[in-house]
Amino acid sequence: MPVFRTIRVLRFVVVALAAVPLTGGCAYSPSIGVLGAYFPDWLFCIVAGVVLTVVINLILKRLQVDHLLGPSAVVYPSLVTFLSLAVWLTLFQH
């Protein structure tokens, strides 16, 4: 019985030591203070991506060219992702 316990403890130590280098990127958490509460910057980037996508959708509908885009279920989530990443790269370079 003690052999199995030793193997289990050894396995835990190996996993813990393997996880240590992966947590090095967690030292700095980019956040923005809003009225005393801190929010992660990616949250603002997603909101900006959704708002910009809605604006682009309204512009395309106003110009009556929205039918040229293809399947909406692929285009608009891709556009939200692209715009969110573009906002993050533009505004939050640390």
Chain segment 51-88, per-residue pLDDT in tens: 999 999 999 899 988 888 888 889 999 999 999 999 98
pLDDT of 49 higher than 90: yes
Kindly state whether residue 43 falls inside one of the protein's structural domains: yes
Kindly state whether residue 8 falls inside one of the protein's structural domains: no
Kindly state whether residue 10 falls inside one of the protein's structural domains: no
How much is the pLDDT for 54?
A: 94
Better-predicted residue by pLDDT, 36 or 52: 52
Kindly state whether residue 22 falls inside one of the protein's structural domains: no
Number of domains composing the chain: 1
Sequence letter at residue 83: L
Kindly state whether residue 23 falls inside one of the protein's structural domains: no
Mean pLDDT, the chain, integer: 80
* Cβ atoms 55, 17 nearer than 8 A: no
Each residue of 72-86: b (16+ CB within 10 Å) or e? eeeebeebbeebbee
CA distance 13 to 89: 38
Kindly state whether residue 80 falls inside one of the protein's structural domains: yes
Kindly state whether residue 15 falls inside one of the protein's structural domains: no
**Token representation of residue 78:** 């891709």
